[in-house]
Structure 1
C-alpha cells in the first residue's frame, strides 16, 4: 500500500484541529463568559475533532503497518517491523510532546503571576502522566473532581500512544480474524453508555479507521468511490452538513445520548472514507484548501501548543492590566487573533525545528538498523 501523503486527509486534520481550538476558547482563552461563544456552544460543539483525529490515525497507520506486518514470513521479521514502527512513532511524537510538557511546567513556575497555568502540584502530576502515557486515565479520574493541570489535552495523545503500542500485537493475535475483532470492538462501544473512563479509552473511531484502511486495499473500494461529489460545491455542502450534524451530536441537546459517541465515530469515518480517495471531493483545490492543508500538516504541533498559547495570552493581558497599559481585554476578536497568530508562529517553529528533524532522525535510525541487520548473515532467516 502506498504511503504517499493524502492531501484530503491533511484537510480533515486541519478541520479537526480548528474544531478543538474553537471548543477550548471558552475556559482556556476566556475565563469570563463570552455571550456569542455561549450561544454557539449551546447548539453546536466541535470537540468531535478529537474523534476525527482518531479515525484518521487508525486509517493512516493501518494503511502502511498492516501490509508490512502481513508480508513478514518469520517472527523475527515481524518483530523487526514492529520495532521499526514503534521507533518511527516515538521520534515522530514524543520529542514535541515532551518539549511542550517541559515548557508548560516552566511557565507554571516562572510566568504564572495571574495563575493561568494552574498550580505546580497539578502540573507536575500532569507532566508525569503525559510522559508515562497514562494521561487519559488521570483525566477521567480528575473529571470535575480536581485540577488536572495545563496539559489536559494529552489524554488523547496517551490513548493514541497506547493504540500504537498494542495494535501490532492485536494484528499478531487476531491474524485472519482481525476484521471481526475490530467490528466487535466497534459494536460493543456503539451501544454502550460512555462513562468518563470509557470516554478516555474509546477506540471505535480508531477501529473504523483501521477497517477503512483494510477495505481500501480490496477491489470493492474503488467501486464505491463517491463520484457524485465531483459536482461543483456538492462535496463542500456534504462536508458542511456532516460537520454541523457532528457539532449538534456533541451537545447535550442531542437526545440519543447513549449512542452519540458511536454516531460521531461513524460520521468521522465517513469523512475519512471520502477523503481517502484524494480527489478534492470535500473541498476544491484553491487558496482555502491550501491553507487548510497547511494547518493540517502542522496540526500535531497546533494541538500541543494551543492551550499554553491561550494561557500565555491570558497572562499577558493580566500583566498589561496590572501595569495600567492598554490590553485586548474585553475585545474577544482581537484576543483570538493574537492567540491565533501566536499558535501559528509557534507551531511553524515546532514543525521546522523539532517535528521534521526528529522524524528524519527516526527514519535514519530505522534505516541504519535495517541495513546493519541485513548485512549480518543469518542461516535461519528468510526475506520479508
Structure 2
C-alpha cells in the first residue's frame, strides 16, 4: 500500500478548516449582531468541519500505523514502531500547538486593552489544560458555566492527541478483533444523545476513519470504488449535497436529537471514503483545487492561528479608535479582509518555520534511534 499524500484528502482538510474559520466569525471576529451571519446560521452551520478533521485523522493515521504494527514480529519491534509513531506525532503537532498556547497567553497579558482575549486566570488555566492534553475535558466542564479562555479550539486537538496515544494500545489489546471493537464503539455512539462531556469525546468519526483505513487494505475496497463519479459535474454535486446536509444537521433545530452527531460522523466518513481513492472524484483538477489543496496543507496552522488573529484584529480596532481611525476599520468587509490576511500570513510562517523544521527533526530523531538499535543488534550478533 502506498502512503503518499492524497490530494483529495488535502481538499477535504481545506473544506474542514474553512468551515471552522467561518463558524468562528460570529463571536470571535464579530462579537455583536451580524444579521447576515445570523441569517446563515439559522439555515446551516459549518462546525462539522471538526468532525471531518476527525474522520480524516482516523483514516490517515491508521492507514500507515496499523499495517506497520501488524507487520511486527516481536513485542519489542511493536513498541519501537509505537515509539516512532508517537515521536512523529509529537514533533508534528506539539511545537506549533504549544507555541500558540504561549502566544495567546502573552496576548492576554500584553495585547488585551479591550479585554477580547479574556482574563489572565482563564487563559492560564486553558494553557495548562492544553499542555496536559485535557483541554476537551475542561471545555466540557466550562460549557455555559465559566470562561474557558481564548484557546478553546484546543479541545479538539486534545481529543486527537488522546486518540494517537490510545490507538496503538487498542491495536495491541484487540489484535484481529480491532474492527469489531471499533464497530462497537461507533454503534454505541450513533444513537446516543451527546451531553457536553460526550460532545468532547466523540470518537465515532475517528473510529470510522480507522475502519475505512483498515478496509482500504482489503481487496473489496477496490471493488467499491465510486467510479460513477468520474463525470466531471457529478462529484462536485455530491460534495455540495453532503456539505449542505451536514450544515443543516449542525443547526440548532437538530440540537436535541440523538442521532445528529452520529449522522454527521457517517457523512464525514463518506466524504473521506470518496477522497481516499485520490481520483479527483469530489472536485476536478484546476486552479481552485490547487488553491484548496494549498489551504489543506496549512490547515493545522490555520486552525491554531485563526482565533488569535481574529482577536488581534479586534484589539487593533480598539486601540485605533482614539486616533479617529475606527470608522475606517469598522466596516465588516475590511475587518474580514484584515483577519483573513493575518491568518494566511501567520499560518504560512508557522508552516515554514515551525511545522516543517520540527517534522524533519522528528524524522531525524527516529532515524538515529533506529540506527542505534541496528548497531546494537549487529554488535550483539557479532559478539556471539
CA contact (8 A) 2:193 2:256 kept: no
Q: What pairs up with 1:87-98 in 2 under 5 angstroms? A: 87-98=87-98
Query: Equivalent residue for 2:142?
Result: 142
Deviation string 1:341-372 (CA, Å, 9 cap, x unpaired) is 10001000000000000000000100110111
Q: Distance in 2 between matches of 1:172 and 1:353?
A: 36
Runs of 4+, deviation exceeding 6 Å: 378-381
Paired residues of 2:135 and 2:155 also in contact (CA < 8 A): yes
1:236 counterpart = 2:236: yes
Q: What residue in structure 1 maps to residue 320 of structure 2? A: 320
**Match of 1:352?**
352
How far off its partner does 1:233 sit? 1.3
Matched residues in 2 for 1:250 and 1:223: separation?
Answer: 32
Residue 69 of structure 1 and its aligned partner are, at CA, apart by 0.3
The equivalent of 1:336 in structure 2 is 336
Q: Distance in 1 between matches of 2:153 and 2:249?
A: 21
Residues in 2 aligned to 1:153 and 1:75: alpha-carbon distance in whole angstroms: 37
Could you give the per-residue CA deviations for residues 188-212 of structure 1, whole angstroms, max 9, x where no partner exists? 0001110100000010000000000
User: What is the TM-score with the length of structure 2 in the denominator?
Assistant: 0.97
**Given that residues 205 and 268 in structure 1 are in contact (C-alpha distance below 8 angstroms), is that contact kept between their aligned partners in structure 2?**
yes
Aligned: 1:269 with 2:269: yes
Shift of 1:320: 1.3
Q: Deviations over 1:149-203 (max 9, x none)?
A: 0000000000000000000000000001000000000000001110100000010
Provide closer, same or farther for how the CA distance between residues 328 and 228 of structure 1 changes in structure 2, counting only shifts above 3 A: farther
Shift of 1:379: 9.7
Summarize the Cα distance change of 1:194–1:326 in structure 2 as closer, same or farther, 3 Å threshold.
Answer: closer
Q: Distance in 2 between matches of 1:254 and 1:130?
A: 30
Aligned to 1:20: 20
Correspondence for 1:189: 189
CA distance in 2, matches of 1:131, 1:140: 17
TM-score (norm 1): 0.97
Deviation by residue 1:217-240 (Cα, 9 ceiling, x = unmatched): 111111111111110211001000
State the Cα deviation string for residues 35-94 of structure 1 (Å, max 9, x = none): 000000011000000000000000000000000000001000000000000000000000
Tell me which residue corresponds to 1:279. 279
**5 Å matches for 1:1-384?**
1-254=1-254, 257-377=257-377
CA distance in 2 between counterparts of 1:62 and 1:7 reads 17
Aligned residues: 381
What do residues 233-289 of structure 1 show as CA deviations (whole Å, max 9, x unaligned)? Answer: 110010001000000000112387210000000000000000000011111100100
Is the CA contact (8 Å cut-off) linking 1:317 and 1:328 kept in structure 2? no
Alpha-carbon offset, residue 323 of structure 1: 2.2
1:256 to 1:224, Cα distance in 2 relative to 1, 3 A: farther
- List gaps (5 residues or longer) in structure 1: none
Contact 2:239-2:282 at 8 Å conserved across structures:
yes
Conserved? CA contact 1:101–1:151, under 8 Å: yes
Report which stretch shifted further, 246-255 or 10-19: 246-255
8 Å CA contact 2:19–2:46 kept in 1: the answer is yes
Q: Which moved more, 1:1-10 or 1:263-272?
A: 1-10
Residue 377 of structure 1 aligns to a residue whose secondary structure is helix
Answer whether contact 1:26 1:34 (CA < 8 A) is retained. Answer: yes
| In structure 2, distance between residues paired with 1:195 and 1:378 | 55
Per the TM alignment, residue 377 of structure 1 is displaced from its structure 2 partner at its CA by 2.1
